Amino acid sequence: MSDDDFIGIGAAARRFGLAESALRYWEKRGLLHPAQRRSSWRLYGPEQLHRIGLIKMWRESGLMSLDEIATILTVGDHDWRDAVRDRLDAIQRQQDRLAKARDHLEHLLTCPDENPAEDCPYLRAMTSGYQAR
C-alpha cells in the first residue's frame, strides 16, 4: 500500500458524515484503530474505512449499541451471534409496538364517534389492558 491509500481522520469522518470526535470515541472504545500514526495524525486505510462503514451502518440501520457492535467485531468471540439474535428480538418487539400504535391511530381517523378519546368503546376496551392489576 502506498501513502495515497491512507487518509486522515478528518477526511475519513467527512467521507462517512461523522464527527472526528465519533471516530476518536470509537477508537477509545476499541472498535477502531488507525492503520498508522504519524506524529499525532491518525491515518486510516481501506480496512479501517470498511470498519467505519460497518459501525455506521449497524448504528443506523440496526440501531445497535456500541457494546453490541464491539461484541460482533471481537475476533474469536462466538457470543456475537447471541448479540445479533438479541437485537433481532428487540427489533421485532419494536415492530409489534409500532404496528399496535399504527392500528390505534388508524382507528382514531376512522372512528365514527365525535370524541373518540371519551366515547369510543374500542379505545375503552384497549385502555382496560393498561390499568394496574
pLDDT tens-digit readout, 108-126: 888 888 888 888 888 888 7
pLDDT of residue 89: 94
**50 shares its domain with 97:** no
Return the biggest CA–CA distance within the chain: 72
**Helices of type H across the chain:** 9-16, 20-28, 46-61, 66-73, 80-110, 116-119, 121-128
**45 shares its domain with 85:** no
**18 shares its domain with 43:** yes
pLDDT of residue 46: 93
Q: Dump pLDDT digits (tens) for 31-63.
A: 999 888 888 888 999 999 999 999 999 999 878
**69 shares its domain with 86:** no
Report the domain count for the chain: 2
**3 shares its domain with 49:** yes
**69 shares its domain with 94:** no
Domain ranges, residue 21: 1-77
Q: Among 44, 39, 40, which residue's Cα sits nearest to residue 13?
A: 44
